[in-house]
Structure 1
C-alpha cells in the first residue's frame, strides 16, 4: 500500500483508505502480507494517493503489478482547490499520467469509468469496487446516548437537527446548506468540517467570513475526528449532503450505518450506486421543502431510517471483504502470469 491519505484530516480519501486497511488487517491478514509505504519488492503495489515519490516508484521493477485507486479526476477538483495557471494545467496532466502508469485502475463509482476512458485509459483495465464503512465504528446508539450528546453540544432534545459534513468548499454545496440555515431559524443546522487544504481552498476568504458570521442556528464545528462523528450522525434527525459532485462519499455511508435518514442532491452518480436509499432533491427549493415537511411530520423519517439500514447491509464489510479478496487474488494471478 502506498498512501499519504491519512496526513490531511477531514477528507474522504483518508477515511476510505483507513477502512480498507482495517478490513484487510482484521479479516484477510492470513491471506495477504500487507506493507505500507515500503519500497521493498512486492507482487502488488496499490497506490491510494498520487504523491510524486510514488509516481517515481512506478518505474521500478520491484513494484510488481501496479494498482491505482481513483478518488478524483481533474474536473472534480474544480470548486475544491484554487491553483494559478500554468500550475493548474501541469497538475491536471500529472494526475492523468499517474493513472496511466497503472496496470489496473479501481474506481469507487461506475460513472467514472467513461470519464477515465475519455482521458485515454483502457476500459478493460478499470474495475468498480464501492466504498464501505465499519459498523463497529459507525452504528446506531441508544436514545439515552443521543440525548446525552445533544445536551453536551447544547441542543434541546426536541430540536430538529439537520447535519452535514465534509470540507468547507463550493463543491460540497455549503452555500445551499448555509442558506437553508438562514431561512429556517427554528431548525438547528450543524456542519462538521473545515479547510483541509487551508488557504488554497477555492473561495477560502468568502467561506471563512461565512463561518465567522453564521446565524445562531448554524454551527460550524471545524474538522471532527471520525471517532466523534458517530455522535453527530446519531444525534441528527436528518443528514444532508448538498454536494454538486462526489464519487462515493464516505459521509453518506457513515450516516446510513448510524441509521440517519439521508437527503442528497439528485446526482447521476448517486443513482448508479445508492438509488432508493435516500431522498433526492433537485435544488435548494426541494431541500427546503423536504426539511420543513420532515420537521413538521417526523414520522415520515421512519421509512428513511429503514432505507439507511438496508443500504448498510448492501455495503457491508462481509460483502466487501469477499470482493477485495477476489480482486487481489486475481491481480496476483495476472502478475505471476505476466512475470
Structure 2
C-alpha cells in the first residue's frame, strides 16, 4: 500500500478554488483507492509520497527532510502573475513572496499543473520539463449535476426568480481579477436581466479592490444579488437556475466553477484567455471584452436554440472531465512516479 501524505491548508479559507480542488481530490482517492493508497493529511510520519497543495512555510521546511518525505510532489494551482488582481501586498513583500513561491516549486521532485499553459513560466523559473505533468481538475457529479425542469422551476420560485427571468450567474471570490467591474456594469446596463454573483471576500481586507467592492456588495443594483460564499449543496441550485454562467476573469488557472457549470449543463461564457484553448476549447462562449459579452448575451437571450447548443457543449465537457476519467490519471501518476524514484 502506497503511503501518501497530503499537505494542505487550502480548506481553511472558504470560497476559493484551490480548496475545492483539494477536497475533490481527497474524497475521490478515499472513495476509489482506499486499498491501494494509505492517505494521511498534514502528518509528519514517513511517507512514500508527499503531495503539497499549498505553500505554507512549515511545508517548505519539511522538503529538506527528504528521507521522511519520500517523493515530493508540488501541485501548481497558481503562479506569481496569476495572483495579480487577487491580493494586495506591500510591493517589497510581494517580491519576496513571488521568489518564495517559485523556490517552493523548484524544491519539488515533481510538479503537477492544472493547466498546461503554466509550463513555460515554470521552465523560465528553472523547473525541468520532464518533471512537470498536466492533470486537469474535476468536479464530483454527485454534488454538481443537472436537475430536471420541474426541480429547476421550484428552485427559481424558492430563490425569488420568475420562470421567464434571464438569469446570469457568476461564481468566485470578489476581487478585481475576476472581472467584477464588467459583471457589475452589465447588470447596470441590463436592468431587465437578473444577475447573481456567488462568492465573497475570502482574503478579507487584503483582497484587491476590497473597499470599492464592499460598497457595491452592500448596496448593489436592484437586479444584482450577492448571496455571499455559498455552500456546495446550495451552489448547485444557482447553477441549475442560470441561463448562462459568466466568468469575466482577466486571469485564471483551471476554474472549478467552470467545471461545476459544465456538470450542471449550464452554458459557459468567459473572457477569452489563451489558457482556455488548452483545456476547454469548443466548450465555451469566448468574448474579448464587455461589449462582446453584451452582444452575445443579447443574442442568446432571444435564441433558445443557441442556448440548447451550448447546454449540449457543457454536458460533453462534463464527460471529458468526469471524476472517473481523472481518477485513472491520478492512480497512474502516483504509482508510476513512486516507481520512478524507488531505486
Question: How many residues get paired?
Answer: 337
Query: Residues 147-185 of structure 1: CA distance to partner in whole angstroms, max 9, x if unpaired?
Result: 111112111111010001000111111111001000000
Matched residue, 2:260: 254
For residues 214 and 118 of structure 1, the distance between their equivalents in structure 2, rounded to whole angstroms, comes to 43
Matched residue, 1:51: 56
Q: Does 1:268 align with 2:259?
A: no
Q: Does 1:316 align with 2:317?
A: no
For residues 39 and 245 of structure 2, the distance between their equivalents in structure 1, rounded to whole angstroms, comes to 35
For residues 27 and 312 of structure 1, the distance between their equivalents in structure 2, rounded to whole angstroms, comes to 19
For residues 186 and 136 of structure 1, the distance between their equivalents in structure 2, rounded to whole angstroms, comes to 34
Matched residue, 2:167: 161
For residues 306 and 91 of structure 2, the distance between their equivalents in structure 1, rounded to whole angstroms, comes to 49
Match of 1:4 among 3, 9, 14: 9
Q: Does 1:88 align with 2:94?
A: yes
Shift of 1:260: 0.3
Taking only aligned residues, the RMSD between alpha carbons, in angstroms, comes to 0.8
For residues 179 and 287 of structure 2, the distance between their equivalents in structure 1, rounded to whole angstroms, comes to 12
Match of 1:62 among 63, 68, 71: 68
Matched residue, 1:199: 205
Query: Residues 93-129 of structure 1: CA distance to partner in whole angstroms, max 9, x if unpaired?
Result: 1111111110000000000000111112111111100
Q: Does 1:23 align with 2:28?
A: yes
Matched residue, 2:291: 285
Shift of 1:3: 0.5
Contact 1:43 1:335 in 2 (8 A): no
Match of 1:136 among 133, 137, 142: 142
Q: Secondary structure at the match of 2:40?
A: coil
For residues 54 and 71 of structure 2, the distance between their equivalents in structure 1, rounded to whole angstroms, comes to 16
Shift of 1:326: 0.5
Query: Residues 254-293 of structure 1: CA distance to partner in whole angstroms, max 9, x if unpaired?
Result: 0000000111111100011000001111110110011111
Unaligned runs of 5+ in 2: 1-5
Matched residue, 1:34: 39
Shift of 1:213: 2.5
Could you tell which deviates more after superposition, 11-20 or 81-90?
Answer: 81-90
Matched residue, 2:241: 235
Could you tell which deviates more after superposition, 172-181 or 210-219?
Answer: 210-219
For residues 198 and 264 of structure 2, the distance between their equivalents in structure 1, rounded to whole angstroms, comes to 16
Shift of 1:92: 1.0
Matched residue, 2:3: none
Q: Secondary structure at the match of 1:69?
A: strand
Unaligned runs of 5+ in 1: none
For residues 53 and 202 of structure 1, the distance between their equivalents in structure 2, rounded to whole angstroms, comes to 26
Could you tell which deviates more after superposition, 42-51 or 213-222?
Answer: 213-222
For residues 130 and 341 of structure 2, the distance between their equivalents in structure 1, rounded to whole angstroms, comes to 16
Match of 2:112 among 106, 113, 116: 106
Matched residue, 2:77: 71
For residues 296 and 86 of structure 1, the distance between their equivalents in structure 2, rounded to whole angstroms, comes to 51
